[in-house]
Amino acid sequence: MKKVLSAIQPTGDLHLGNYFGAVQNWVKLQDNYDCKYGVVDYHCMTMPYKASALRENTWKMVFQLLACGVKVENVFVQSFVPEHVELSWVLSCVCSYGELSRMTQFKDKTDQLKDKDKDALVSSGLFLYPVLQAADILIYHADYVPVGKDQEQHLELSRNIAQRFNTQFEKEYFVHPEPLFTEIPKLLSLADPNKKMSKSLGEKHYVNLFAEEDRIRKQVKSAVTDTGEGQIGMSPGVKNLFELLVACNEKTIHDQLMQDFHNGALKYSALKEAVGEALVQLISPFRDNLKALEENKKQIKEQVKDSSSNIRKVAQQTMKEVREITGLLSLK
Ligand code: TRP
């Protein structure tokens, strides 16, 4: 079976964008691949944060992934496998400063930090973030990495690092991981459909995957449809609602309402009703699953520690081989 590795940062609640853009696909891949999915807490340390929030968010992300259908044996918490950091150091030594300086995500994030506060800390960890990501992938010899297009450059770097390591140590050791790009529906903010749906915009702008039914319906009901005067064709807000129907796999109702639109007979209230219903149908099982998981909190945490320990064995084996290949001494 081919190996799949992906990871997500524990930054708080999952939202619809995460689900359609990643998690839904992760769940499907489990049928045909040997999958490992990391909750990457080390990556979260690259920006200023609070220890208590990290602790809470890491478990939260684990539970939410499980509630969406990720299998517990496929999940691990990154820092339960400290070999990621060990490999990351080795890889940083075959990755040039110049390469890392060209990473667009690093440039964007440092600009943001500088804008916010001139003295804000641009950590070396943030600079090295893509090397840690390469270690996440290479340590499991992953063949495929499901990611969004925004990670293309990081994936390319992972391949370059693998190549450089193999060349330097004259051994075809690391696999060259290929991205599996996920088609991400371009969801827009419900409150301001001129912007992308994103958590950073604030609560009104995104749909929390574990929100109560009422809240979801209300959020959809108050979605902005007409953004201004002189609109030609379909407004971005209406287009976004149709996009949501597609994402939820509601083709029949989507086509009906689209026909209404072309006949000039579309009632926004009907469209919103349909979207609200589709989202509630999609999300309710996840919320129920999450409640059930939380009733067994202790036991589930133990299971995740066990799966992390099992996954760690693979990482330890890799590090044993890497020590050998790179000339580090072995204790045994
Ligand atoms: N950088 C990724 C993101 O922000 C998260 C990530 C960390 C990742 N390590 C990874 C994704 C390894 C895929 C594989 O989305």
Q: pLDDT tens digit string along 4-56?
A: 999 999 999 999 989 998 999 999 999 999 999 999 999 999 998 999 999 99
Burial code of 160-184, b = ≥16 C-beta within 10 A, e = fewer?
Answer: bbbebbbeebeeebbbebebbebeb
- Give the distance (Å) from ligand 1 centre to CA of residue 133: 6
Beginning with the edge strand found earlier in the chain, give each strand of the sheet holding 178-181 in spatial order: 75-77, 34-39, 3-8, 144-147, 178-181
Average pLDDT across the chain, whole number: 94
- Residue-level pLDDT at 59: 98
- Residue-level pLDDT at 10: 97
Are 245 and 254 a contacting pair, CB within 8 Å? yes
Helix, strand or coil for residue 178?
A: strand
Are 33 and 1 a contacting pair, CB within 8 Å? yes
pLDDT tens, position by position, 78-112? 999 999 999 999 999 999 999 999 999 999 888 88
Handedness of CA 61, 153, 326, 88 (dihedral sign): negative
- Residue-level pLDDT at 228: 63
In order, the DSSP letters of 136-149 are HHHTTT-SEEEE-G
- Residue-level pLDDT at 111: 86
User: 195 to each of 85, 190, 224, 234, how far by Cα in Å?
Assistant: 36, 9, 12, 16
Residue with tokens 């799966």: 307
Question: Ligand 1 pocket: which of 3, 5, 9, 39 to mutate (most atoms <8 Å of CB)?
Answer: 9
Alpha helices (runs of H) in 1-123, residue ranges in sequence order? 16-18, 24-29, 41-44, 51-68, 83-92, 97-101, 104-116
Letter for the amino acid at 149?
A: K
Q: How many residues does the chain have?
A: 332
C-alpha 325/C-alpha 307 separation (Å) is 28
Are 205 and 213 a contacting pair, CB within 8 Å? no
Handedness of CA 258, 260, 266, 269 (dihedral sign): negative
- Residue-level pLDDT at 158: 98
Structure-block tokens of residue 299: 């036991």
C-alpha 80/C-alpha 72 separation (Å) is 15
Banded model confidence at residue 118, pLDDT cuts 50, 70, 90: low
pLDDT tens, position by position, 209-242? 999 999 999 999 999 998 665 667 899 999 999 9
Are 225 and 233 a contacting pair, CB within 8 Å? no
C-alpha 270/C-alpha 241 separation (Å) is 11
Does the structure show a pLDDT above 80 at 70? yes
Question: Ligand 1 pocket: which of 154, 158, 199 to mutate (most atoms <8 Å of CB)?
Answer: 154
Does the structure show a pLDDT above 70 at 250? yes
Q: Which residue has the higher pLDDT, 195 or 116?
A: 195
Banded model confidence at residue 186, pLDDT cuts 50, 70, 90: confident
pLDDT tens, position by position, 129-155? 999 999 999 999 999 999 988 899 999
Helix, strand or coil for residue 64?
A: helix
Q: Which residue of the set 2, 28, 71, 109 is catalytic?
A: 109
Burial zone of 101 (CB within 10 Å; 0-12 exposed, 13-18 middle, 19+ buried): exposed
Helix, strand or coil for residue 7?
A: strand
Structure-block tokens of residue 122: 């641009």
Does the structure show a pLDDT above 80 at 184? no
Banded model confidence at residue 201, pLDDT cuts 50, 70, 90: confident
- Residue-level pLDDT at 278: 97
Banded model confidence at residue 183, pLDDT cuts 50, 70, 90: confident
- Residue-level pLDDT at 198: 83
- Give the distance (Å) from ligand 1 centre to CA of residue 65: 15
- Residue-level pLDDT at 113: 78
- Residue-level pLDDT at 240: 94
Does the structure show a pLDDT above 80 at 323? yes
Ligand 1 atom nearest 8 alpha carbon? 5
Banded model confidence at residue 331, pLDDT cuts 50, 70, 90: confident
pLDDT over 70 for what percent of the chain? 98
Whether 196 is catalytic:
yes
- Residue-level pLDDT at 227: 62
Q: Which residue of the set 71, 196, 239, 301 is catalytic?
A: 196
Task: Decide: 41 in ligand 1 pocket, CB within 6 A.
Answer: no
Residue with tokens 């108050």: 222
- Residue-level pLDDT at 248: 95
Whether 195 is catalytic:
no
Q: Which residue has the higher pLDDT, 197 or 28?
A: 28
Report the pLDDT averaged over residues 281-285: 96
Give the global pTM.
0.93
Report the pLDDT averaged over residues 273-287: 96
C-alpha 175/C-alpha 73 separation (Å) is 23
Specify whether the backbone of 85 is left (phi greater than 0), alpha (psi in -120 to 50) or beta.
Answer: alpha
